[in-house]
Structure 1
Amino acid sequence: MKSTIAILLLGTVLAPAAVSAADLSVPLPAPAPIPAPTPMARWTGLHLGAGAGIASTKLSMSNRSVLDFYWDCAGPGPCQTNRYGSSGSTDGRSVFATLDIGYDVQIDRFVLGLGANVDLSNGAGGKVSVDKSVPGIPFPNGSAFQGSGHVGNGMTAYVRGGVLVTDTSLLYALGGYSVATAKLDGRFGAGDTSLFYLWSGGVRGRASATLSGPTVGVGFEQMLTDRVSLKLEYRYTDLGGLTATGKTSSGNCNCYVFTARSRTQMDVTTQSVRAVLSYRFDL
């Protein structure tokens, strides 16, 4: 009897342990897989691009001219000097194609880069005409001053820096230095043939040069694929100025001899917008 009771008590004690051991042998469910993070677009590397844009070019012109009148019998110096000044501006529109190359480095959420581009333009030009006469010296047959200018192809070297708005979109600012070809034609007394019977079309000065100056801008670039991006950009460029000078002298007419000197200055600023499609190399 006692042994039977002992066996029952031992079974009561060992039964929960056996159940627990059985529970431990059941495999636990596998943990749910953690989704892999979406990789960030890789902005580091070389990129080549091509695009087009529209430019508005402001040509600001000023003219300073001097007329010295001599009497044949009055000695070496002029007996009268007249000085004339005028100014005006005009805007020219142009379209251009652009080729762009650069290299970017991504640092966390920031992108820094170096680049250069060539703009091939149909040219922006315009004319300035001032009809005001010199006091006491009329210009009945034409304008006192006429100027025309033209700005052609250019190129820019730049640095840029921006922040990633999303993994595939970049907002940036840029600064650089630009050069562009320019021409200037300035005339004082243009078209007038009546002044002292000897004025033959006025004093003309021509000049051509490569202008240069700083460029600043802002832009937005969007990754379309892992290799192709599209950027939209605004730029402002100050190309400095160009000067054209001219000089002429009359013969003797009723004891009058005069010389005329003319200096025309043209300052050039440009605002442009462009769209550039780029291919990015994994370098």
Structure 2
Amino acid sequence: MGATGTGRQGRDLVHSKRRLVRAVTLLGAAQVAAFAVTAARAADLPVKAPSRLAPVANWTQFYIGAGLGFDFMSGRSNLTPVGGGPSLFGLDGLQGADLGLSAFAGFDVQVASRFVVGGFVDYDWSRQRTIVNVGGNGLGLNVTAGMPSLDQGWTIGGRAGFLATPDILLYGLAGYSQMRINNWNLNYVILGGGPSLTVQEPAQTSHGYTVGAGVEYRLAGNVSLRGEYRYVGLGRNTTVDPLGAVWTTDLSEHVIRIGAAYRFGQFGGPATTAAAPALNPAWTGVYVGAGIGGDAITPHVAASIPGALDFNAAGLGGADVGGTFTIGYDRQIAPKWVIGAFGLIDLATNGGASVTATGGGATITSDLASVKWAWTVGGRAGYLVSPETLVYVLGGYSGSTARGVTYNLLGFVSTSPEREYHGATVGGGFERFFSDRISARAEYRLTHVETRDDLTDSLFTSVSAGGTIHTLRGSLVYHLPTP
């Protein structure tokens, strides 16, 4: 009984081991089969590409560039006799605005992943020329005045900025400036054969400080675009004209530019970080946008009271802060080209800027010319320097309404009527996508409006006006999904 039981137990143990081996073998075979099926299925799936590596931003470079925009000048001038005494003539709040050009060079050093510092030098030119003529039989004299304006100047300084993204630098700047100023010249002619008198404030070279701010966008390759504002404080200067009269002038200059730079060397360092997901910019479709910036207006004005008074001014302008609302449609017609049509409305305010002239016991005051609102319809054509960045030119037709100017001319008070002026607009800018639907753009426009001669008011029986408007805007744009 014991022997039989022991033998049976041995046989059961052998059978159990055999069953365990078969189970393990089947399990292993099942696992191998499952692995083979999984591998076979995986072979049919698309292979995921390895993460693309992007270069680390590197702004340590030398650069050269050029820009355009507008300048306007404001300040005070006062004429007194040598040795002191009552003021012979004074002017406060004058602004003359016109197109200006710049050339610049500099270097940047990226001192940290988000911070850039550098130095620069630039040279500015302007063709501001402001001439005012007042005269007539009613006054018994004719006065022609050439007003202060920027001729040329240079600035040397430094800037420091923060990289909002590897390609976008927000910066502030400060420096030392020297500006050549074309100063006052006054010519008095007594009508009826009387004597004439010329008073000339000598041209002067003024020194001062510059502060400002801007944004620079890195495009493809070694090209970047920037928009920049600078304030130049020129301080108080004293000059003596040939007749011995003393001029005291306190001027400041406002400079707004859009520029392009070529940066020497290679952007970026070794590929060490994963690239952000690629954008899919929607260049074809409808868009809406809004922006803010400034305008400078350079009007040409003529007015008269027959047989009594004539007034002419060319180049006397003002500046304002304005906003823009735009809607348009673009179509990408080729891998590198985009064309489109747009409509926009500009709204502006001049903040109550005015000019006051005193002399000979008389005072003349006037608001400065400025844009109230304007509209433009037109088209644009652009080249894609990268899939996300468009550089473009534009053209169109505009209607601009100037603010009514209130003035006091030797005790005669009146307000000019508001009228709409029409003319052609040309310009250009650049636009960059930050997401698949949102982009930012910087844009410069120049509008030359026709002269109107139906602007009579309560004082002058004949008034005509026209001029040029410079507009600079930065905007955010939303591109609607294509149906």
Report the TM-score when normalising by structure 1. 0.61
How far 1:86 sits from its partner (Å)?
3.5
How far 1:183 sits from its partner (Å)?
4.2
Matched, 1:174 2:174: no
CA contact (8 A) 2:417 2:457 kept: no
1:113 alignment partner in structure 2: 340
How far 1:43 sits from its partner (Å)?
0.8
Among 164, 168, 190, the alignment partner of 2:384 is 164
Matched, 1:122 2:122: no
Matched, 1:274 2:466: no
Q: 1:279 to 1:183 in 2, by over 3 A?
A: closer
2:319 alignment partner in structure 1: 93
Structure 2 unaligned blocks of 5 or more: 1-42, 53-277
How far 1:228 sits from its partner (Å)?
0.9
How far 1:161 sits from its partner (Å)?
0.5
CA contact (8 A) 2:328 2:340 kept: yes
RMSD: 3.6
Write the letter of the residue equivalent to 2:462.
R
For structure 1, which segment, 176-185 or 139-148, has the greater mean C-alpha deviation from structure 2 after superposition? 139-148
1:217 alignment partner in structure 2: 427
1:47 alignment partner in structure 2: 287
Matched, 1:237 2:447: yes
CA contact (8 A) 2:375 2:399 kept: yes
Number of residue pairs matched by the alignment:
210
Structure 1 unaligned blocks of 5 or more: 1-29, 68-81, 132-138, 193-200, 249-260
Separation in 2 of the partners of 1:129 and 1:264?
21
For structure 1, which segment, 261-270 or 53-62, has the greater mean C-alpha deviation from structure 2 after superposition? 261-270
Separation in 2 of the partners of 1:83 and 1:120?
34
How far 1:39 sits from its partner (Å)?
7.7
How far 1:144 sits from its partner (Å)?
9.1
Larger radius of gyration: 1
Q: 1:33 to 1:158 in 2, by over 3 A?
A: same
How far 1:173 sits from its partner (Å)?
0.4
CA contact (8 A) 1:90 1:127 kept: no
Report the TM-score when normalising by structure 2. 0.38
How far 1:242 sits from its partner (Å)?
3.9
Separation in 1 of the partners of 2:366 and 2:280?
58
For structure 1, which segment, 159-168 or 117-126, has the greater mean C-alpha deviation from structure 2 after superposition? 117-126
CA contact (8 A) 1:177 1:215 kept: yes
Q: 1:190-209 counterparts in 2 under 5 A?
A: 190-191=409-410, 201=412, 206-209=416-419
Q: 1:56-95 counterparts in 2 under 5 A?
A: 56-67=296-307, 84=310, 86-95=312-321
Q: 1:114 to 1:186 in 2, by over 3 A?
A: same
1:18 alignment partner in structure 2: none
2:374 alignment partner in structure 1: 154
Q: 1:239 to 1:86 in 2, by over 3 A?
A: closer
Q: 1:102 to 1:86 in 2, by over 3 A?
A: closer
CA contact (8 A) 1:170 1:222 kept: yes
How far 1:266 sits from its partner (Å)?
2.0
CA contact (8 A) 2:373 2:401 kept: yes
How far 1:142 sits from its partner (Å)?
3.7
How far 1:106 sits from its partner (Å)?
0.4
Percent identity (aligned):
27
